[in-house]
Structure 1
């Protein structure tokens, strides 16, 4: 499946995954590490790293046209949902919450 044969929905999902990857990684490495406290508790920090990585992997699977992207996207939607909740709970991370929710929504559609 070449890029121009890809559905508009899939292209949007790839963009959302890459945006979420960028957001989670840069926010964890910048904002969270600088603030410390709740922001660097292992459970939260590991979740952000897991979220960034599954988003990158989902985008990769869709870009290479793997039929396994549905499974990866399903997992990505779940992790993004958890990450959004946790970032919202901690607070002062709205851009991350928004990126995670957008990614979760489009990944759910891809997994369907």
Structure 2
């Protein structure tokens, strides 16, 4: 079993914050804004980002060594989601959460 180090805890926190941001922003801001905010490619990416962030946190919390693989994929999806959010109004906080999570997950995957 992998011990939860301070670095891992910071990654867990970033993942859970990104999960909350993507899911909350998607279900609130995006659905209410409509238009490009709910374009299938963008909205699916946000939901995928939320789920991989939740899953990454779960893997780290369970102590499996496989968290590194999940964190690597999480970082990739978060980076893509941040770019997508940057193209839309009112998505700055979500994009920032995605970038922060990507940075933490890349460090965890190393």
SS in 1 for 2:87: helix
SS in 2 for 1:73: helix
1:15 aligned to which of 13, 31, 44:
13
Deviation by residue 1:52-76 (Cα, 9 ceiling, x = unmatched): 0000000000000011000000000
Gap regions ≥5 residues in structure 1:
none
SS in 2 for 1:90: coil
The count of corresponding residues between Structure 1 and Structure 2 is: 110
TM-score of the pair, normalised by structure 1: 0.95
Deviation by residue 1:78-98 (Cα, 9 ceiling, x = unmatched): 000000000001232011011
Gap regions ≥5 residues in structure 2:
none
Please, what is the CA RMSD of the aligned residues?
1.0
Runs of 4+ residues over 4 Å off in structure 1? none
Q: Paired residue for 1:83?
A: 81
Q: Distance in 2 between matches of 1:94 and 1:88?
A: 6
